[in-house]
Structure 1
Amino acid sequence: MDKRFWHADGSTRFGVTRILPVVLIISALSIIGAITISSSEEVEAAGAEITSGDYKYVTTSSSTVKLLAPVSNTLSNATIPATINYLGTEFSVTAIEEKAFYNSSSLATISIPHTIKTIGKDAFASCKYVTSLYYDAPSLSGTDYGYRFGEIGQSATSMTVTFGPHVVSIPDEMFRYSFSYSPKTSKITTITFEGNVKSIGNYAFFYCNSIKNISLPDSVETIGNYAFTNCTSLTTLKMSAGVTSIGNNAFEVCSSLKSVSLPSSLLTIGERAFNKCSALTSITIPENVTSMGVGAFLDTKNISSVYYNARELNDFKSYPYIFGTNTGQPVGSKITLHIGEGVKKIPAQLCYGSERIQTAIIPASVQTIGESAFYDVSSLTTVYLYGVPTLNKSCFAVGTYGSNKTVTVYSICESGFLDSYKTSQTTIKYVQMPHVSLDLVGHDLSSIPDGWAIRDDCLLKYFSYGQSVTIPTIEAIGYTCTGLNTTPAATMPNYTLLYSTKWEIKSFSVTFDSNGGTGSQIPIKTEYNQNVILPSTTTFTKTGLTFGGWSTSKNGTPISTINKISSDTKVYAIWKVTITFDSNGGTGYRSPIVTNVGSSYWVGTTNNYFSAPPGKTFAGWSLSPSGKTVSSITPTENTIVYATWKSYQSGSTPTPTPSPSTTKVTITVKEKTFNGAVYVSYSNIHGGTVTGGGSYNPGQSVQLKAVAKDNYRFVKWEEDGNTSPTRTVTADQSKTYTAVFESWNEAAQEIEDAGKTLGMLTIAGGVAIVLFGALVLVALFRRH
């Protein structure tokens, strides 16, 4: 008994006694090892035996017990409770003792609750009449997994196993030894899942050779090594839609399994995972598989079709024999290997040493065939190669070790292109296939004129004899392919076809948004790559405001032209407001400012315009005669800005009276040149000169003039978008004006004018040329 129940004076919680009897009692307990408890105060001690219902237990903590054995050896239905209540104390049943039900001849059904965390060795071993097991333990700890259910149900006709909703993982070796040894036969026939099992442990159903059908829940992510090995009666397997990993030998010798659908979630297929699955007739490798072990489909003698769709499968490095045959085993059916559309690479050694692959079909999407991909594939007789992949060392070394082989290669390529990638024992017979090719000049994207874009799969597309033809969509910015000059037949005849394309330039619209105004403006219709000059006036109106141009955003910089339009475009009316200045009791004048609605304007923090009223000095600018001062405003309507004044303090300097002869405004002029495709600012590239800079009296009119040099033209004034090279401004504050020039000459003008006309020239020999300005697209179709 736990010593905490004893007091130092020799008394207990149950009454007063002598020390000598206590010593005798403790000595007796140490010999017996445990006693049966009948007091609620003693039951909390670990190691105390109790009986509740059909079972005997031992306490393992103040709240948990381990099931030791049934009370009766004739118990037929073992429904183990999740909890028991003993003398007012509730315990969770978390463990089952070793050999708790061992060799029970009466037990027919078993139910294991979700509270169980450990099951001892041989706990249910040799319970030979069990027909049903309900198992709901989430996961188990401990060792000796394989002996818990050893030879279970061996005297029953069949046995059903149900995994409850709490099961997360099926333990390693759960039913590894469920079979009898002579002959090796397991009586488990049916497995069902009620919940979301995530993993199936190693050897979990090893040699469960009476199971015929399994439907794995989609929650299963991993299947362990040897999980279903030697399930020889298994004919139907529904694979989890979420499985990512199938372990080594997981379905080895599932010799009755006729089909299996591997999901797109699958990443890893282990070594010999489907070895000797002799009833399989086809297999599909999903596109996301990145790793496949040695002999994954070894000795699958009846597979005749392999569909390979993996996009990123790692190269193999040493004798993988994925589709091979073990020495002494029958070779079986010949295999047709279908490489899926979209696969770009055949990994190194994929088919190494196979004695069964007879035909390989390789689509145009394959860009690389890895080293030794078909090395020593002694059964290979026919290859259909629809593209022009990059080849690697010995990738077609079919004949080796003194065995001479002849392979017929149907291809669009010239004869001899594989000769450097085979051995001297390999003879390749080349047969050129008829095909259609849709091609750009040189197959080289860098040679496509500026402004054109063609989908990659249209650069070079081949179709073989007998194949149904769907001409791919050809796309070009600004143009629509409206069809072919020759309508293809539904099925290609036995000669090469040549097609030329018909093109039509795209049309676009420029629409106008009043940007808060009223009225309507007629859209402008135009064609791709045209320069659209925007109207200088508008039919829109906005009360109190004047029109200031167009912009591609509501508060953007005004533009006069949309250059080389390539999509439908909306422009917004830009409205101008007038900012006037009020002396607010002072004298003088500050010129009004016209600016865009929504644009920030710096009104300043100093005053060079108005003289202060007597006894006052300048306090700042405000939007009301006595309001808070501001230094900048963002007007949305015509606005008055007031000078504000404060009382002159002795010792301070009053606001001076502005003098036109001494107070100056600086006008700075700069130039920026757009040369080809690059802006070059303030460098040695100058497209013109600008005059008009200097210091001026407030309110004075100043003429600015931008003069372009040869081979350049004036574009605009950068600050406000004004497009007039000569303009007059008012010197109301210091400002900078930048003239923008771009390179230009007569040839460029002619190209721009010519660009407004699109022509189609059809030239003999199947060459169609589309002209637009200086841009040329050639759709070249040639007979191979």
Structure 2
Amino acid sequence: MRRWIVAVSLLILFSCLLISDADASEMGFDDAIYGYETHGSGHPDYYCVITSVTSNEAILHLPSVLEGYDVRSYSDGAFDGCSSSTLIVPKNLRAIEDGAFSGCESLKNIYFMGDRPVMGDVVPKDVVIHTMPSTTGWTNTEIIEMVTSNGIDYALLPDGAAVIGGKPTDGIISIRNEVNGNKVVRIDDYAFSGTMMDDGNVKRRSDIKSVVTNDGLQIIGKRAFYYNDLTEIRISDSVKEIQDEAFRACYNLNGVSFSDNVNHIGFETFRDCHSIMELTIPKTVRYVGDGAFYICDSLESLNVDTNISPRMFGYCTSLRELILGDSVNDIGHSAFYQCESLESVRIPEKVKDIGKEAFRDCVSLKKTDLKNVENIGRMAFRGCESLRVMSIPSTVSMIEGYAFADCISLRSIDAYGMAPKGDDTVFLNVDAVIHCKGDAVDSWESSEFGLEVVGDLDGSGNAIVSLAIVGMVALSILIVIVLIMQKKGKA
């Protein structure tokens, strides 16, 4: 997934001249692929325009946000690669360009969840438009049936009922299994979120304390509880997907657990959840988006058995206990950036690459086991100032710039193979001795690392000097025993 962001001034959304800042793409949970252009120089000015949609899903729920960018428009030809027969358009869409749906030949129905966006006669004549009651700008459309039960609003959509909002009873949101014979399968985007203000700040929603989901719920939508003051939620075992930013900035959410059925946790899903203290992520989770638990700064204990995405646990400053399961085979960039309470980490055997800045400024880190790592990314351990000794396995072939720079306490490095590739910044501000096997001395001395090299490791990886010391101690003990026996004999 790629993004090149160039700062520009905020463009007027409804102008026909849409100048892109960046091109990117994202695969949705349903295997739909969205190409999009990003615009703006920073929050709240940035947004994106969907330029292409590739999907074979019969019923496709279009995203309201892609990796933190509000989706505001569909461009001309956006659905040329889409074979869906039904599209469900989120309520925050603002504009649709002419020709957006012209290439979607299988299209039969479009469900609009919000007010009419700025658009011309873009919907093909044989396509039925469905709209929500009380939305504005629409004429001659089919009205989507709604049900309100115990203060919760449900929309009856072609693939099941969706929770679209409502008010709690005594602070509790209780979601039904079905309404009017329709199974409740999703909590829709923004259903219980805070309110985005014109200045870019979010007015928090404070009337919800607890959420009880039903056993048939499958999806918790994007920003469903964004900036919400809820304290607890029971995620039912049937939930498969928790989408982007669903619980972002739920400061008081004090616990969350995932069943083995959850296989997708989206972009920044639990970012800034400051009250979560323990977390287990099972290996059944196939995808975790960037920054999923970013700045969960009360998290103390973590057991994770799936790939570690970029920024996944960055700034989790209270994290002390970390268990990485055997299913982990990737550690993304900045994954544990500034986890300043973390003291040790064991890298699983399947991990080959440690991303750039993955453990940067983990100032309490004293011990690391790199197992079968082949590449150590740029600044991966920079600033780990408590690290005193470490080992570089023979599998390591590349150490990128500044990887161990400013590890000011590092004094001893056991190197079990020939010197990997790397430059003179790798150990910047480090005064350590590299211990290696005799036949590897030349490679380490000719490297650019600039550290003292001693060929005192034997074939088993034990320092020869250590063996000598042990032998001397043993000999000294034997001499003492002999002297004692001689004295007893004289007596």
Instruction: Calculate the TM-score normalised by the size of structure 2.
Output: 0.50
Which of 364, 368, 375 is 1:369 aligned to? Answer: 375
Is residue 152–residue 165 contact of structure 2 (8 Å, CA) maintained in 1? no
| Change beyond 3 A, Cα 1:386–1:242 | farther
Q: Paired residue for 2:233?
A: 214
- Could you give the per-residue CA deviations for residues 720-758 of structure 1, whole angstroms, max 9, x where no partner exists? xxxxxxxxxxxxxxxxxxxxxxxxxxxxxxxxxxxxxxx
Q: Paired residue for 1:323?
A: 336
Which of 133, 149, 160 is 1:97 aligned to? Answer: 133
Which of 345, 353, 376 is 2:352 aligned to? Answer: 345
Q: Paired residue for 2:486?
A: none
Which of 232, 242, 263 is 1:244 aligned to? Answer: 263
Q: State whether structure 2 residue 284 is matched by structure 1 residue 265.
A: yes
Secondary structure at 1:361 match in 2: strand
Q: State whether structure 2 residue 404 is matched by structure 1 residue 398.
A: yes
Is residue 328–residue 348 contact of structure 2 (8 Å, CA) maintained in 1? no
Q: Paired residue for 1:254?
A: 273
Cα offset, 1:279, TM superposition: 1.1
Output the CA distance in 2 between the equivalents of 1:304 and 1:359: 12
Q: State whether structure 2 residue 317 is matched by structure 1 residue 301.
A: yes
- Could you give the per-residue CA deviations for residues 155-187 of structure 1, whole angstroms, max 9, x where no partner exists? x64233224152222211111248999973432
| Change beyond 3 A, Cα 1:356–1:429 | same
Q: State whether structure 2 residue 428 is matched by structure 1 residue 425.
A: yes
Output the CA distance in 2 between the equivalents of 1:418 and 1:495: 31
Q: Paired residue for 2:175?
A: 162
Cα offset, 1:263, TM superposition: 1.0
Aligned counterparts, 1:376-391, within 5 A: 376-379=382-385, 381-385=387-391, 387-391=393-397
Is residue 295–residue 314 contact of structure 2 (8 Å, CA) maintained in 1? yes
Larger radius of gyration: 1
Aligned counterparts, 1:200-599, within 5 A: 200-210=220-230, 212-286=231-305, 288-289=306-307, 292-293=309-310, 295-309=311-325, 313=329, 320-325=333-338, 333-349=340-356, 351=358, 353-356=360-363, 358-362=365-369, 365-372=371-378, 374=380, 376-379=382-385, 381-385=387-391, 387-394=393-400, 397-399=403-405, 405-409=408-412, 411=414, 413=416, 423=425, 425-430=428-433
Count of aligned residue pairs for this structure pair: 302
| Change beyond 3 A, Cα 1:263–1:137 | farther
Alignment-mate amino acid for residue 281 of structure 1? E
Cα offset, 1:379, TM superposition: 3.6
Secondary structure at 1:168 match in 2: strand
Output the CA distance in 1 between the equivalents of 2:196 and 2:256: 21
- Could you give the per-residue CA deviations for residues 621-648 of structure 1, whole angstroms, max 9, x where no partner exists? xxxxxxxxxxxxxxxxxxxxxxxxxxxx
Output the CA distance in 1 between the equivalents of 2:334 and 2:313: 8
Output the CA distance in 2 between the equivalents of 1:175 and 1:413: 55
Cα offset, 1:199, TM superposition: 1.8
Alignment-mate amino acid for residue 394 of structure 2? V
Output the CA distance in 1 between the equivalents of 2:335 and 2:264: 17
Q: Paired residue for 1:637?
A: none
Cα offset, 1:226, TM superposition: 0.9
Is residue 95–residue 118 contact of structure 1 (8 Å, CA) maintained in 2? yes
Alignment-mate amino acid for residue 369 of structure 1? N
Output the CA distance in 1 between the equivalents of 2:204 and 2:150: 18
Alignment-mate amino acid for residue 403 of structure 2? A
Cα offset, 1:404, TM superposition: 7.6
Cα offset, 1:413, TM superposition: 3.9
Secondary structure at 2:411 match in 1: strand
Alignment-mate amino acid for residue 237 of structure 1? V
Output the CA distance in 2 between the equivalents of 1:495 and 1:117: 85
Alignment-mate amino acid for residue 235 of structure 2? L
Output the CA distance in 1 between the equivalents of 2:132 and 2:176: 18
Alignment-mate amino acid for residue 158 of structure 1? G
> Tell me, which stretches of 5 or more residues in structure 1 are unaligned?
1-93, 100-115, 125-129, 326-331, 434-459, 465-493, 497-784
Output the CA distance in 1 between the equivalents of 2:326 and 2:353: 9
> Tell me, which stretches of 5 or more residues in structure 2 are unaligned?
1-129, 136-141, 437-458, 464-468, 472-491
- Could you give the per-residue CA deviations for residues 90-109 of structure 1, whole angstroms, max 9, x where no partner exists? xxxx997328xxxxxxxxxx
Q: Paired residue for 2:219?
A: 199
Is residue 386–residue 462 contact of structure 1 (8 Å, CA) maintained in 2? no
Secondary structure at 1:238 match in 2: coil
| Change beyond 3 A, Cα 1:284–1:138 | farther
Alignment-mate amino acid for residue 336 of structure 1? E
Alignment-mate amino acid for residue 343 of structure 1? K
| Change beyond 3 A, Cα 1:404–1:214 | closer
Cα offset, 1:341, TM superposition: 4.5
Secondary structure at 2:278 match in 1: coil
- Could you give the per-residue CA deviations for residues 215-245 of structure 1, whole angstroms, max 9, x where no partner exists? 3233322211110112222111111322222
| Change beyond 3 A, Cα 1:233–1:139 | farther
Cα offset, 1:135, TM superposition: 5.6
Cα offset, 1:338, TM superposition: 1.7
Residue identity over aligned pairs, in percent, reads 14
Alignment-mate amino acid for residue 190 of structure 1? S
Cα offset, 1:373, TM superposition: 6.2
- Could you give the per-residue CA deviations for residues 364-398 of structure 1, whole angstroms, max 9, x where no partner exists? x4142334262534545234437432230326632
Output the CA distance in 1 between the equivalents of 2:428 and 2:357: 21
Alignment-mate amino acid for residue 414 of structure 2? S
Could you say which structure has the greater relative contact order, defined with CA pairs below 8 angstroms and 6 or more residues apart?
A: 2
| Change beyond 3 A, Cα 1:179–1:193 | farther
- Could you give the per-residue CA deviations for residues 178-213 of structure 1, whole angstroms, max 9, x where no partner exists? 899997343222222332322211011222312x22
Is residue 226–residue 248 contact of structure 1 (8 Å, CA) maintained in 2? yes
Is residue 215–residue 239 contact of structure 1 (8 Å, CA) maintained in 2? no
| Change beyond 3 A, Cα 1:397–1:184 | closer
Instruction: Calculate the TM-score normalised by the size of structure 1.
Output: 0.33
Secondary structure at 2:313 match in 1: coil
| Change beyond 3 A, Cα 1:343–1:410 | farther
Q: How large is the Cα RMSD of the aligned pairs?
A: 4.5
Cα offset, 1:420, TM superposition: 5.1
- Could you give the per-residue CA deviations for residues 589-616 of structure 1, whole angstroms, max 9, x where no partner exists? xxxxxxxxxxxxxxxxxxxxxxxxxxxx
Output the CA distance in 2 between the equivalents of 1:117 and 1:169: 20
| Change beyond 3 A, Cα 1:303–1:368 | same
Is residue 380–residue 398 contact of structure 1 (8 Å, CA) maintained in 2? no
| Change beyond 3 A, Cα 1:461–1:259 | farther
Is residue 279–residue 302 contact of structure 1 (8 Å, CA) maintained in 2? yes
Alignment-mate amino acid for residue 428 of structure 2? Q
